[in-house]
Amino acid sequence: MCKIKKDELRRTGLLIREKAFQSHRNTSFSHKLQINFRQWLRTSENISKIAIYSPIKSEFDTFQLMNTLFYEGKEICLPLVIKKDLPLKFREWTPETEMRRSSFNIPIPVTDKELLPDLVIAPLISYDQKGVRLGYGGGFYDRTIAHLRKKMSVLYLGIAFPEQKSYVNIPKEDHDIILDGVIDSFGVQMF
C-alpha cells in the first residue's frame, strides 16, 4: 500500500515539478535561491566540500550555483552511481572538469579524484513538512547518507521550487533518511 501511494505521489510530483520548472525558467527564482543559500552557507563555517547533482529534465539547474560556490572557495563534487545497491561516490568537479554521460545519461566528471562531502544537496520530486523526501525510488541518496554518517557528520539538504512542497505526508519507509532542510528561493528551511 505504501509503495502505491508513493508511486501516485511521484507521478503527481513530477507533473508539478515540470510546471514549476517552466514557470520559473525566466524569472529571478534561481538568483534569489543562490543569494539566500550563499548567505546561509556563510554561517556554516564547517562546510567546505559540497556534493551537488548534475540536473536532468525538470530538476533545478545547479550549474550556475556550482560555479559560484567553486569561485567562492568551496570544493564541489558530483555523485556517481557505482552499482545499483551501493552508496554513491562523489567525484571532484571544477569549471574545467571534463564531463561525460553516465549510463543514466547524467553528466559526470571524468576524473578519479573522490571527495567526502560535508554537505549533500539532493534533487527531489517532492518533500513534506517533516523533511521526508520523495525521489525517483532508487534509494541512492538514502543509502549514501546512511553510509556517510557512519564515518562522519554530513548535512543533507534538498533543493526545490516552492511548488514541490507536499501538504500531505509522504509515506516514510524504514530506509528513508529525513532531509535536514530544503533550499528554495526563501533560503534554507531546516526541519
Report phi then psi at 187, rounded to 5.
125, -150
The answer to whether 131 touches 181, Cβ cutoff 8 Å, is yes
**pLDDT of 2 above 70:** no
Q: What percent of the chain has pLDDT over 90?
A: 73
**pLDDT of 1 above 50:** no
pLDDT tens-place string over residues 100-112:
998 788 889 999 8
pLDDT tens-place string over residues 30-69:
889 999 999 999 988 789 999 999 998 899 999 999 999 9
pLDDT tens-place string over residues 15-30:
999 999 998 887 888 8
pLDDT at 4: 53
CA dist., res. 165 & res. 128, Å (int): 6
What three-state secondary structure class fits 77?
strand
CA distances from 113 to 3, 20, 91, 131 (A): 37, 35, 6, 31
Task: Choose among 185, 179, 156: nearest CA to 50.
Answer: 156
- The cell for 66 is 556550482
CA dist., res. 75 & res. 156, Å (int): 16
pLDDT tens-place string over residues 101-149:
987 888 899 998 999 999 999 999 999 999 999 999 889 999 999 999 9
CA dist., res. 65 & res. 29, Å (int): 12
Which CATH number does the domain housing residue 19 bear? 3.40.50.10420
**pLDDT of 3 above 70:** no
Give the domain extent around 10.
Answer: 2-190
Number of domain units in the chain: 1
Left (φ > 0), alpha (ψ -120 to 50) or beta: where does 94 sit? Answer: beta
CA distances from 49 to 4, 29, 73, 76 (A): 37, 24, 9, 6
